[in-house]
């Protein structure tokens, strides 16, 4: 069985080339994940189609998650995936015991997509390719324990390091990213330049690039996001962190495509 609503395509803005959930500050993982988890649990419980549909309809009233912690701190996002799973289990159990959800919970006037995405939702995408297009093969896992918007910068920094770039030779760095990404890994700039904690550091473009250039081995690991962060402005050989690399001899560049969305 395909679970296409786990994909944010029904809530994707083609003009902005970004998730409507993200544009509204909503964490789709914990919101859509609750519905997906409910369907999975209901199926494992052996519920019929009506029970599975009710589980999804119930979970749609439970899923929640805001992205403000990405910008200004707070560790609540760490429980978002677990919250989605908890909602899914609870919704499936409630459906199994007779509670029902609205049959038009996804596409209805006051349904899931309208509530979270408004007029920018595309309900038809929910059933597009149903039974033929499978999302699981598209799932990828994070190679680094930090926000996936930082991964392209980390890859570029590691590539430059592998090419022999010495941190002591760096005078300035410039990191170019898509505009919607700036709100997560670059704003507010003073907070991203000097993360207040290891958790804040995981959402900082400047910090993660610095960690990749300065770290040992892989360059970015769980140890790079402890409290306090091991890479500090004092430990960095260049003053303000920015990101792409210039040495005293010549500019050096590394262009790395952004990775796909991560699990």
Q: Which residues contact 176 (CB under 8 A, 6 or more apart)?
A: 244
Report pLDDT for 229: 67
Strand, helix or coil for residue 49: helix
Strand, helix or coil for residue 97: coil
Going from the N-terminus, what domains does the chain have, and what CATH number goes with each? Answer: 4-138 (1.10.4100.10), 148-252 (no CATH)
Helix (H) or strand (E) holding 257: none
Radius of gyration of the chain (CA): 21
Report pLDDT for 240: 40
- Rounded CA-CA distance 255/239 in Å is 23
- Rounded CA-CA distance 157/51 in Å is 50
Tens of pLDDT along the chain (263 residues)?
334 444 446 666 666 666 788 888 899 999 999 999 999 999 999 999 999 999 999 999 999 999 888 777 788 888 999 999 999 999 999 999 999 999 999 999 999 989 988 888 778 877 888 889 887 888 878 888 888 889 999 999 888 888 888 888 888 888 888 887 888 899 888 888 888 888 888 889 998 998 888 875 556 777 778 777 666 544 554 434 443 333 333 445 555 555 555 54
* Contact indicator for 220, 212 with CB cutoff of 8 Å: yes
The pTM for the full model equals: 0.70
Question: Can you say whether the dihedral through the CA atoms of 79, 17, 9, 107 is positive or negative?
Answer: positive
Over the range 219-231, which residues count as b (16 or more CB within 10 Å of their CB) and which as e? bbeeebbeeebeb
* Contact indicator for 107, 116 with CB cutoff of 8 Å: no
Strand, helix or coil for residue 61: coil
Helix (H) or strand (E) holding 210: helix 205-214
Report pLDDT for 246: 36
């Amino acid at each position: 069985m395909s679970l296409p609503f786990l994909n944010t395509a029904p809530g994707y803005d083609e003009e902005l080339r970004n998730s409507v959930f993200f544009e509204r500050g909503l964490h789709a993982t914990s919101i859509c994940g609750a519905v997906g988890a409910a369907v999975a649990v209901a199926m494992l419980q052996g519920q019929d189609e009506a029970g599975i549909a009710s589980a999804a309809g119930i979970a749609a009233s439970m899923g929640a998650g805001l992205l403000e912690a990405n910008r200004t701190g707070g560790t609540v996002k760490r429980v978002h995936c677990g919250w989605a799973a908890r909602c899914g289990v609870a919704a499936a159990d409630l459906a199994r015991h007779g509670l029902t959800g609205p049959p038009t919970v996804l596409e209805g006037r006051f349904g899931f997509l309208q509530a979270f995405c408004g007029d920018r939702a595309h309900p038809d995408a929910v059933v597009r390719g149903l039974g033929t297009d499978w999302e699981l093969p598209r799932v990828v896992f994070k190679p680094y324990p930090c926000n996936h918007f930082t991964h392209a910068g980390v890859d570029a920094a590691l590539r430059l390091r592998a090419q022999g770039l010495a941190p002591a030779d760096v005078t300035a760095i410039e990191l170019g990213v898509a505009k919607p990404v700036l709100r997560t890994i670059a704003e507010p700039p003073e907070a991203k330049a000097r993360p207040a904690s290891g958790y804040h550091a995981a959402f900082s473009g400047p910090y993660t690039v610095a960690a990749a250039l300065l770290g040992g081995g892989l360059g970015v690991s769980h140890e790079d996001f402890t409290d306090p962060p091991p890479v500090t402005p004092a430990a960095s050989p260049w003053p303000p962190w920015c990101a792409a690399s210039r040495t005293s001899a010549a500019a050096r560049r590394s262009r790395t495509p952004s990775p796909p969305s991560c699990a």
